[in-house]
């Protein structure tokens, strides 16, 4: 079967979740408020927010490839949640994310004070993605049966840091000053 012949879904509306349960890729069913399902929903929400962030940026923006890569990795996190005992996000993905963080951080000036979310619309949306990432991380913690070797939790921890740096970089690229906290 070629890729063009392959399809994952024949029907989108299945009605199988009408009673408050949802199916995992292995055929098992869980309540929609189970920690695994909550985590899957949070990953999906973050990925949608990143899609919106990408729509705010020009197609040739230098950060588009990174954001596309992040969206792919979030699908890996989702796959680990949807297919119990599967490993999709591994150490090499964490290494790549660390390298991206290092690259972004090197181009930014040291912080003198705490940064407030804001700046350009895309910079502000990066801050929103950062907070959503922290939420995904919190929802992943109760899912105790992730496969050995999964890098999902550390990946999300670092990803929120990346969104902070990305907000700063996007605002700086636009010539926008960073809104800073003014402690009294």
d(CA 42, CA 33): 12
d(CA 129, CA 45): 9
What average pLDDT is seen over the chain?
89
Residue 17 belongs to a domain: no
104 within 8 A of 169, measured Cβ to Cβ: yes
Residue 80 pLDDT greater than 80, yes or no: yes
The confidence band for 7, taking pLDDT boundaries of 50, 70 and 90, is: very low
Range of the domain at 162: 29-173
Question: What Cα–Cα distance (Å) separates residue 32 from each residue in 18, 102, 147?
Answer: 10, 38, 21
* pTM to 2 decimal places: 0.88
Residue 18 belongs to a domain: no
Residue 6 belongs to a domain: no
Residue 9 belongs to a domain: no
The number of folded domains in the chain is: 1
113 within 8 A of 179, measured Cβ to Cβ: no
Output 1 or 152, whichever has higher pLDDT: 152
Q: What is the CATH number of the domain that holds 34?
A: 1.20.1200.10
134-158 per-position pLDDT tens digit: 999 999 999 978 888 889 999 999 9
């Amino acid at each position: 079967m070629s890729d063009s012949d392959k399809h994952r879904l024949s029907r989108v509306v299945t009605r199988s979740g009408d009673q408050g349960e949802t199916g995992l890729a292995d055929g098992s069913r869980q309540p929609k408020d189970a920690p695994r399902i909550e985590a899957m929903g949070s990953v999906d929400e973050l990925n949608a927010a990143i899609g919106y962030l990408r729509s705010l940026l020009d197609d040739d923006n230098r950060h588009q490839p990174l954001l596309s890569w992040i969206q792919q990795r979030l699908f890996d996190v989702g796959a680990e949640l949807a297919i119990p005992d599967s490993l999709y996000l591994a150490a090499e993905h964490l290494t790549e994310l660390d390298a991206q963080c290092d690259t972004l951080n090197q181009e930014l000036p040291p912080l003198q004070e705490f940064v407030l979310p804001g700046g350009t619309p895309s910079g502000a949306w990066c801050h929103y993605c950062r907070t959503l990432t922290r939420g995904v991380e919190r929802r992943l913690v109760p899912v105790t049966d992730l496969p050995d070797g999964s890098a999902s939790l550390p990946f999300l921890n670092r990803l929120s840091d990346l969104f902070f740096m990305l907000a700063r970089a996007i605002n700086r690229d636009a010539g926008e000053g960073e809104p800073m906290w003014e402690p009294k």
